[in-house]
Amino acid sequence: MKKLHIAVLAFGLVGCSTSAVPLNDAKQVSVERTFKYQTAHDGDAKLIVIRDSGIVGSGCYAAVYINGEKAALLNSSEKATFYLNGGEYDVGAAFDGAALCSMSKDRQERTVVLKANKTKVVRVFSDGNANLDIKPTTL
């Protein structure tokens, strides 16, 4: 019985937040779940969005929004690459799907500044209360 309590406690602690996934370890999202900004043009900036790994919210897609438009749906440990002109963009995330996935908080957004011919990487983070947010990363 003591081992069961330890196992439950350990599982609970692991599920309290998500963990950043290094760029090279993230899996590319499928083409069917990318909707916008997929064609590269000369001088474009590259925005890479990586969803953290972890159990919090893992049964739901994380929808990625760029300037209010749904651009992709990510599972845990997936990444999507977007090609955009240099400038400021509002990048957001919210859970997407049926049942409990549709009852999450409103989309959280952050302003991201992109420079022509440069790459910017951000992550979709989830805290222990299943609140999504966008954070910078250099992993």
**Where do the domains of the chain lie, and which CATH numbers do they carry?**
2-136 (2.60.40.1120)
What pLDDT does residue 102 have? 66
Q: Is 5's pLDDT higher than 60?
A: no
Find all residues with CB under 8 Å of 137, minimum gap 6, and list them: 20, 50, 121, 122, 123
Rg from Cα positions in the chain = 16
Q: Could you report the per-residue pLDDT of 112-139, keeping only the tens digit for each?
A: 999 999 999 999 998 878 789 999 988 7
Q: Could you report the per-residue pLDDT of 35-60, keeping only the tens digit for each?
A: 999 999 999 999 999 999 987 667 88
Q: Are 17 and 127 in contact (CB under 8 A)?
A: yes
Give, for 54, the enclosing helix (H) or strand (E): none
Average pLDDT of span 76-100: 92
Give, for 113, the enclosing helix (H) or strand (E): strand 108-114
DSSP string, 2-49: HHHHHHHHHHHHHTTS-B---GGGSEEPPGGGB-S-----TT-EEEEE
Reported confidence tier of residue 103, pLDDT bands at 50, 70, 90: low
Determine what percent of the chain is predicted with pLDDT higher than 70.
83
Laid out side by side, the sheet with 45-51 consists of 27-28, 78-84, 45-51, 119-126, 132-136
What pLDDT does residue 104 have? 60
Report the amino acid identity of residue 95. F
Average pLDDT value for the chain: 86
Tokens of 19: 């963990």
